[in-house]
Amino acid sequence: MNKAYAAVRLALGLAVAVLAGSEATAAPTLKGRAVWASPRDAGTTEESVVAFVDQLAKAHVNTLVMEVKTSAGIFWPSDRFAPAVVAEYHDFDFPAVLIRQCHRRRIAVHAWFFDFAEGAGSSVVQQHPEWLALSPDGKPTTAEILRGRPYRLAWMCPARRPGYTDQWLIPLIKEFAQRYDVDAIHHDYVRYPGDLAPDTYCFCDYCLEQIPKYAGYYSPAHPDHALLAPMDRPHLEAHWERSPKVLPPNWSEYTREMKSRLLLEGGFFPGGHRDLDYFFYEYRAHQVAQFTRQVFEEVRKAKPKIEFSAAVFKNPVQSGRFIGQDWRRFAPWVQYLMPMDYRSHYAGDFATHLDLLAESIQQQKVWAADFPHLWIGVAAYQLYDAERVPLDRLRRLAREGGSASEMKGEFEKVAVRLEKYAPDLHAAIVAQLREGGSAETLAAKLDAFLSSMPADYAPPDRLTKTLETVRAQGVEGVVIFSTGGLTAGHLWEAVEAFFGR
Ligand SMILES: [Zn+2]
């Protein structure tokens, strides 16, 4: 190496060192640094809210997405919607305190609404059971059984007018927006149910009438006209544009079950493709997108600068088909798109998931081209499902008197890791399996362990690797689910380090 070259190398090295030094102290580089949160993470006193917001500020969070309406009810002291207010929030004005504290620290607040998902016993369901989404057999989602238990969400029909959407949900959102200095409204459950049979909703009376109208299956002015036209082309479906009457002459005599079956399994032409399901899915995607439009227009009248964000599924082409959520159609009415790119939404091991995640984000950047902001949603706690879920099941088996072999099966999934990082708990489970003993004592030990998993057992770098993968795709922001999971998983330091860079 000659002297001049060595001098250049030295100078370059110094320059790099200076740059690295200045980077370490510079402001965070990622524009959107958000978390999803539940009111229980912030408590119900001014002091607990301050402590919660301090934690956000320390971790460089600049946007908080906080639940204000879940399937349990609403979290502000509303007079108009008093029966829906969750008990502890009648006297404590949680959003007022939270928003004030956040704004003091320059943290924006998005108010998170479960749009179409209510609780089985919620006040609106009791007052207006006619607003529930119905399956072909005329039953609501709460009549379904999922994994051996009654389905816990009462899904409301997104389409019916007047109905849940325009009589309850939009007025609720409007009240919140007018009452509080909130920065944005956040949509969640802005879709049809997906974990039940995705094709079975909604066949309420309103939808049975509206789907044929929406898709043009008859002429309201000439409902009994057969509307036959010359079939002068060789292919049957080539005659589609003269809109033949699709409904059978005695449609009005069909039962709900028969109507639903035709709308899902019938064909546009007798003897042609059985393609009517296409129009059913199109109707659902349209109704959900129309809701985002209507709520945007209504709330903007009262609050011209308010913005909207939405938690959506990762692939709008697929979610349009399965849950009526083709979110590409939300673009004019939603400014912040937050795809839930959670670990549980990808198959494969952790490394495979990172590859799939990167692919997804690249696709999402194209699909979301019309949205001003694309912030990628990551579920922190779920990254540790492999370590956590077997212990969670073991706890349930202990409490419910599960068999020793079932308990052993769950234990074996994590035994090696437990023995290394939590030997006391490992020994307690081994003793329980071998000798029996108080199942409740074991369950209580698991409660304690699961509510705060040791860092060795659930390594924080898995979250960091996921976040780095997201950032490497060149997106504007990240939203982490959720503050409760970050606390339980001891993951705040990892977030602070990542957001601080
Ligand atoms: Zn309906």
Residue-wise pLDDT for 310-344, tens only, equals 999 999 999 999 999 999 999 999 999 999 999 99
Tell me if 480 sits within 8 A of 62, measured CB to CB: no
pLDDT at residue 238 greater than cutoff 70: yes
- pLDDT of 55-76, one tens digit each? 999 999 999 999 999 999 999 9
For residue 126, the CA-to-ligand 1 centroid distance in Å is: 17
For residue 72, the CA-to-ligand 1 centroid distance in Å is: 22
Distance CA 327, CA 337 (A): 9
For residue 284, the CA-to-ligand 1 centroid distance in Å is: 9
Tell me if 483 sits within 8 A of 428, measured CB to CB: no
Distance CA 76, CA 182 (A): 13
Cis peptide before 202 (omega within 30 of 0): yes
pLDDT at residue 7 greater than cutoff 60: no
The reported pLDDT for the residue numbered 27 is: 66
For residue 82, the CA-to-ligand 1 centroid distance in Å is: 26
Q: Rounded mean pLDDT of the chain?
A: 93
Amino acid at 150: P
For residue 208, the CA-to-ligand 1 centroid distance in Å is: 7
SS3 labels along 236-263: HHHHHHHCCCCCCCCHHHCCHHHHHHHH
Tell me if 181 sits within 8 A of 99, measured CB to CB: yes
Tell me if 349 sits within 8 A of 387, measured CB to CB: no
pLDDT at residue 1 greater than cutoff 50: no
For residue 303, the CA-to-ligand 1 centroid distance in Å is: 30
For residue 202, the CA-to-ligand 1 centroid distance in Å is: 4
The reported pLDDT for the residue numbered 13 is: 44
Instruction: Copy the structure tokens of residue 16.
Output: 């790099």
The mean pLDDT of 9-35, rounded to a whole number, is 60
Distance CA 70, CA 94 (A): 15
User: Angle at which helices 439-451 and 385-400 pack, to 10 degrees?
Assistant: 150
Instruction: Copy the structure tokens of residue 169.
Output: 């949900």
For residue 428, the CA-to-ligand 1 centroid distance in Å is: 52
pLDDT at residue 77 greater than cutoff 50: yes
Give 252's pLDDT tier (boundaries 50, 70, 90). very high
Distance CA 5, CA 233 (A): 79
Strands 373-379 and 73-74: unpaired
pLDDT at residue 20 greater than cutoff 80: no
Give 168 or 501, the one with higher predicted confidence.
168
**Where do we find the tokens 């798109």?**
337
The reported pLDDT for the residue numbered 140 is: 97
For residue 153, the CA-to-ligand 1 centroid distance in Å is: 16
**Where do we find the tokens 């799939």?**
356
For residue 116, the CA-to-ligand 1 centroid distance in Å is: 12
The reported pLDDT for the residue numbered 28 is: 75
The reported pLDDT for the residue numbered 17 is: 42
Provide the H-helix boundaries in 267-403. 276-302, 316-323, 350-367, 385-400
- pLDDT of 413-452, one tens digit each? 999 999 999 999 999 999 999 988 888 999 999 999 988 7
For residue 211, the CA-to-ligand 1 centroid distance in Å is: 9
Supply the pTM of this predicted model: 0.91
The reported pLDDT for the residue numbered 492 is: 95
- pLDDT of 394-412, one tens digit each? 999 999 988 889 999 999 9
The mean pLDDT of 206-233, rounded to a whole number, is 94
For residue 454, the CA-to-ligand 1 centroid distance in Å is: 47
The mean pLDDT of 123-146, rounded to a whole number, is 97
Distance CA 27, CA 106 (A): 14
For residue 131, the CA-to-ligand 1 centroid distance in Å is: 8
Mark the residues whose beta carbon lies below 5 A from ion ligand 1: 157, 159, 202, 204, 207
For residue 156, the CA-to-ligand 1 centroid distance in Å is: 8
pLDDT at residue 18 greater than cutoff 50: no
For residue 205, the CA-to-ligand 1 centroid distance in Å is: 7
The mean pLDDT of 206-228, rounded to a whole number, is 94
Tell me if 288 sits within 8 A of 190, measured CB to CB: yes
Distance CA 49, CA 209 (A): 48
Amino acid at 49: V
Tell me if 201 sits within 8 A of 193, measured CB to CB: yes
Tell me if 62 sits within 8 A of 33, measured CB to CB: yes
The phi, psi pair for 111, rounded to 5°, reads -90, 120
The mean pLDDT of 20-38, rounded to a whole number, is 75
